[in-house]
A = this chain, B = another copy of it.
């Protein structure tokens, strides 16, 4: 097999997966950030945002961290393609990709599952609540973002340097 060809297919696939992850995380971020509900208190009504629910606050954090990581990786990928050498040279770069993708995919999944865990149950009690539905949509988009990140993680696992065994 042609080394250069296979290696550039790998780079392009991972680059594409990063862009797709970023895209879905961005939409998930916008939806959760704009969602709000009205709380009726003794003193009148108050607008509340997602940060009043612990699960959604955690979900929001995972989206932000996952977005920052994938943006950094995208910058590295573009640098590699333009300069034709890896931003992180040696085995270190492959290990960074492997552990980075592994940890980030776990993080994104946990955010999505926490969001679903809360809203799935609440939507049974208060069905067709616009706030919960928006939060649920955001968790769904985050799940798609996770899937792309998890596929990137499979790629970067196969690119691991061999340990002596």
Contact = CB atoms under 8 A, between A and B. Distances in A.
A150 B114 contact: no
Given A110-B110, A162-B162, A117 B157 contact: no
Contact of A157 (B3, B109, B110, B157): B157
Copies in the complex: 2
Contacts of A54: 120-121, 124
A59 to B, nearest CB: 8
A26 interface: no
Given A55-B120, A98-B157, A114-B114, 17 more contacts: A3-B165, A54-B120, A54-B124, A102-B153, A105-B106, A106-B106, A106-B150, A109-B109, A113-B117, A114-B116, A114-B117, A114-B120, A157-B160, A158-B162, A158-B163, A160-B160, A162-B162
**Residue of A3, A117, A160 with most chain B CB atoms under a 10 A cut-off:** A117
23 contacts: A3-B164, A6-B165, A7-B165, A53-B121, A54-B120, A54-B121, A55-B118, A105-B106, A106-B109, A109-B113, A110-B110, A110-B112, A112-B113, A113-B114, A113-B117, A114-B117, A116-B117, A117-B117, A118-B121, A157-B157, A157-B160, A158-B160, A158-B165
